[in-house]
Amino acid sequence: MKNSPFIVGIDLGTTNCVVSYIDTLKDDTQCNLFEIPQVTDIGMVEKLQSLPSFLYMPLESERPEISYKLPWAAPEAMKNVTGKYALTRGAQAPTRVISSAKSWLCHSGVDRNSPILPWNVTDAAEKLSPVAVSAAYLNHIRLAWNHTMASTDKANELEAQDIYLTVPASFDAAARELTVKAAAAAGLADVNLIEEPLSAFYAWVNGNADGWRKDVAVGDIVVVCDIGGGTTDFSLIEVCEEDGELVLKRIAVGDHILLGGDNMDLTLAYAVKKKFNDEGVNIDSHQMLGLIHSCRDAKEKILSDTACASADIVVLGRGRSVVGGTIKTVLERQEVEQSIVEGFFPKCTIKDNPIERRASGFKELGLQYSSDSAVTKFLSKFLKQHLGAKETEKSFIHPTKILFNGGVTKGISLRERVREVLSGWLEAEGAQAVTLLAGDDPDTAVANGAAYYGFTKRGKGIRVRGGAGRAYYIGVETSMPAVPGMPTPVKAVCVVPFGMEEGTDTGIAGHVFGLVVGEQSVFRFFGSNIRKEDTPGQVLDEWDETELSELASLEATLEADGNAGGSEGAVVPVKIHSYLTEIGTLELWCEALEGQRKWKLEFSVRQEGRQED
């Protein structure tokens, strides 16, 4: 932790990036939004509250060094455009615009370090990796900050500040490390990570000053419902008492659910496409990409402004099938709310679970979107999963308060539907209806909360006790004779318990493991956000797939030296020591029983391990 003049929170969002900061030279916890200069039109640069998470790759004929010049950039550096103008170009040149890079960061089924975006666009002259795109957003923020805040004092440069970068609570250690890698590529080599729902709660605490103690009491359980552009995240925070003081403790986080504003944009696009079809106008695949971007703009305009009754949908014409070039229609507020409320927040019972559809034998590669669009059913599943074993009189854990966050939840009708459904479940079991906690602006809460969290890390303010949001396990192959047609059984050994604090380590006592060195090996990892009682070293011979899920594996060749390190292909007896870093990534240190040799495996990269002497 740096003793820097500013504490900076960066919300690296799927749809928008927001930057907030606290000036430590002032004696308060006031969070200030950094307005980000960006290209908004050809030859125009404006300061906006957010940097839309879109990247546009202009043609050389557009002369980007002139058309999209930024005040801090040399002309030859103006290759791609990030922010508002890139968002605008999404509806006009969809094959040259990259969006949802953050969702790709957690997709273990692709090489997130390889140039794969824009996805499924075969005629793209250039492609970028999800890591590179995320780095582009952060680099824009760094350069904009330094141009605005540090032009006369290098001590104010962004890379010299305490930086807290937000990630979904459901991001596993690999996705977290890729986020850190993107930050380093942008010149921000020293960042801290904080989960987005937790950030939103910190924003609520800071926004209410000492008044938050009047809104919650001992025994309250707050469910944070965070629905952003790409993901839906749930977290539970319990209000406890220690030494006569109220204490906040994060007790659960949800699974990674790729369900959010992107899905809603697609839903609206298909509804509008049907309108066009009914009028005898066909929409091809290229126009469909533009239609999705146009529907996103319309949705955000309608949901963010209660006075907005409708929004125009404009799609550029293509070919001879469209008369007059551009085609237009209108999207009414009622259509938006009907499609989103009923489609994504249907009324259901606490017994309902998301529908798990059987996968087709052939499936298009892409983002692993949820097979069910019902956010309320995922909430039901989450609350049932985290019911304590001793609470036999309940069918789900009973939240008493709800805090909304994420751009999607700006819609009043959406918040009311979730509260209505959740209260119905509670009242059916004799509990009181859930109470709404009035939160910060959903667009800025995560960035504000991240900055305030950094303030609490300096020993001030109110801390929420959290730690690891899931338990981590390594896969250990059992020693048994080969059986035809049967794979060698694997045991799962807990190396990080649920709630383990970042920056702490633990030894796996009572176990000696065999580590293969000198040849390519696969290291398997598992995670669980349900098994909260497992301790380091606990061995699971069998488990239910609903409570333990396999994470991205590592392929690595750990160096052999012929001595204590063993020869090629040797199995070296080792003890394991696990360290959960300050940023939430997992390091496993394997120490040979004989000699001084150690190997380090970082659960961080897609297909490579790191080893150290």
Find out whether 527 and 551 touch, Cβ atoms under 8 Å.
yes
Provide mean pLDDT across the span 538-562.
82
Instruction: Enumerate the β-bridge partners of residue 477.
Output: 490
Is 165 a domain residue? yes
581, amino acid identity: T
- Mind listing the pLDDT tens digit for each residue in 580-592? 877 667 888 999 8
Which tens digit of pLDDT belongs to each residue from 168-215?
887 877 788 899 999 999 999 999 999 898 899 999 999 887 778 889
SS3 173: helix
| pLDDT top residue among 122 and 259 | 259
Query: What's the CATH number where 27 sits?
Result: 3.30.420.40
Nearest to 293 by CA among 318, 325, 323, 261: 261
Task: Tell whether 171 and 40 lie within a shared domain.
Answer: yes
Q: Is the pLDDT of residue 264 over 60?
A: yes
Bridge partners (DSSP) of residue 224 are 235, 403
Q: What is the DSSP letter of 4?
A: -
Percent of the chain clearing pLDDT 90 (strictly above)? 44
pLDDT value at residue 363: 44
Do 580 and 498 share a domain, yes or no? yes
64 located within any domain: yes
Q: At what angle do helices 196-207 and 445-456 cross, to 10 degrees?
A: 80
Residues 497 and 559 in one domain: yes
| Distance (Å, whole) CA 268 – CA 508 | 51
- Identify whether residues 39 and 62 lie together within a single domain: yes
Both 66 and 18 in one domain: the answer is yes
Asked if residue 150 lies in contact with residue 157, where contact means CB atoms within 8 angstroms, the answer is: yes
Q: Say whether pLDDT at 216 is over 60.
A: yes
pLDDT at 322 over 50: no
566 compared with 377, residue with greater pLDDT? 377
Give the pLDDT of residue 436: 94
Using the predicted structure, report yes or no on whether residue 320 has a pLDDT greater than 60: no
Q: What are the pLDDT digits (tens) for 447-467?
A: 999 999 999 988 877 778 777
**pLDDT tens profile 41-62:** 999 999 999 999 999 999 888 9
Q: How confident is the model at residue 257 (pLDDT cuts 50, 70, 90)?
A: confident
Q: What is the CATH number of the domain that holds 562?
A: 2.60.34
Strands (E), 333-391: none
Domain around 591:
471-603
User: For residue 383, how far is the Cα from the chain centroid?
Assistant: 20
Higher pLDDT: 92 or 504? It is 504
Contacts for 435 with CB less than 8 Å, ≥ 6 apart: 400, 401, 402
Q: What is the pLDDT of residues 345-403, one digit of tens each?
A: 999 999 999 987 655 454 445 676 788 999 999 999 999 999 876 677 899 999 999 99
Mean pLDDT score of the chain, rounded to an integer?
86
Q: pLDDT tens digits, residue range 9-45?
A: 999 999 899 999 999 988 778 999 999 999 999 999 9
Within this chain, do residues 56 and 77 fall inside the same structural domain, yes or no?
yes
In 3-state terms, what secondary structure has residue 117?
strand
pLDDT of residue 501: 83
Angle (nearest 5°) at CA 245 between 243 and 246: 130
What pLDDT sits at residue 124?
A: 64
Beta-carbon contacts of residue 275 (< 8 Å; ≥ 6 apart): 329
State the Cα–Cα distance between residues 573 and 26, nearest whole angstrom. 55
Q: Are 294 and 314 in contact (CB under 8 A)?
A: yes
* Domain assignment of residue 452, yes or no: no
Question: What φ, ψ does residue 270 adopt, rounded to 5°?
Answer: -70, -35
**Residue whose C-alpha is closest to residue 13's, from 289, 227, 304:** 227
Band of pLDDT at residue 285, cut at 50, 70 and 90: confident
Residues 50 and 114 in one domain: yes
- Residues 387, 393, 395, 396: is their CA dihedral positive or negative? negative
Q: Which of 344, 365, 393 is the last residue of a domain?
A: 344
Rounded CA separation 273/286 (Å): 13
Residue 335 lies in a domain: yes
List C-alpha distances in Å: 143 to 10, 82, 147, 150, 579: 14, 12, 6, 10, 33
Q: How far apart are CA 93 and CA 321, in angstroms?
A: 19
Cα 53 from chain centre: 13
Peptide bond into 487 cis (omega under 30): no
Q: Average of pLDDT values for 244-263?
A: 85
463 part of a folded domain: no
Please check whether residue 440 lies inside any domain of the structure.
Answer: yes
Whether residue 479 contacts residue 494, with contact meaning beta carbons closer than 8 Å, is answered with no
- Please tell me whether residue 436 adopts helix, strand or coil conformation: strand
Q: Is 466 inside a domain boundary?
A: no
Q: In degrees rounded to 5, what are phi and psi of residue 329?
A: -155, -175
d(CA 613, CA 378): 45
Residues 598, 579: Cα–Cα separation, whole Å? 14
Compare 131 and 569 and report the one with higher pLDDT: 131
Enter the pTM of the model: 0.81
pLDDT digits (tens, 9 = 90+) for 82-133: 999 999 888 778 889 998 899 888 887 788 899 999 887 776 668 999 999 9
Q: What is the number of domains present in the chain?
A: 4
User: CA-CA distance, 52 to 13, in Å (whole number)?
Assistant: 8
Instruction: Indicate whether 54 and 164 sit together in one domain.
Output: yes
Judgement on whether residues 166 and 306 belong to the same structural domain of the protein: no
What's phi and psi for 433, nearest 5 deg? -60, 150
- 57 token code pair: 């790759």
- Amino acid code (one letter) for 182: A
Tell me: pLDDT of 314 over 90. Answer: no
* Residue 503: pLDDT over 90: no
Rg of the chain in Å (alpha carbons) = 25
pLDDT over 80 at 569, yes or no = no
Residues 241 and 270 in one domain: no
Q: How far apart are the first and last CA of the chain?
A: 27
Burial 147-171 (b: 16+ CB within 10 A, else e): ebbbeeeeebbbbbbbbbbbbbbbb
* Residues in Cβ contact with 493 at an 8 Å cutoff, skipping those fewer than 6 apart: 473, 474, 476, 508, 511, 537, 538, 539, 540
Please determine, for residue 524, whether its predicted confidence score (pLDDT) is greater than 50: yes
Cis bond leading into 536, ω under 30°?
A: no
Residue with tokens 């907030």: 20
Which CATH number is 324's domain given?
A: 3.90.640.10
157 and 223 within one domain: no
61-65, 174-178, 244-248: which range is least confident on average?
A: 244-248
Shared domain check, 536 and 520: yes
CA dist 523 and 545 (Å) reads 19
Say if residue 302's pLDDT is above 80: yes
Q: Using an 8 Å Cβ cutoff, are 515 and 545 in contact?
A: no
76 touches 50 (CB < 8 A)? no
pLDDT band at 303 (very low <50, low <70, confident <90, very high): confident
Identify whether 609 is part of a domain: no
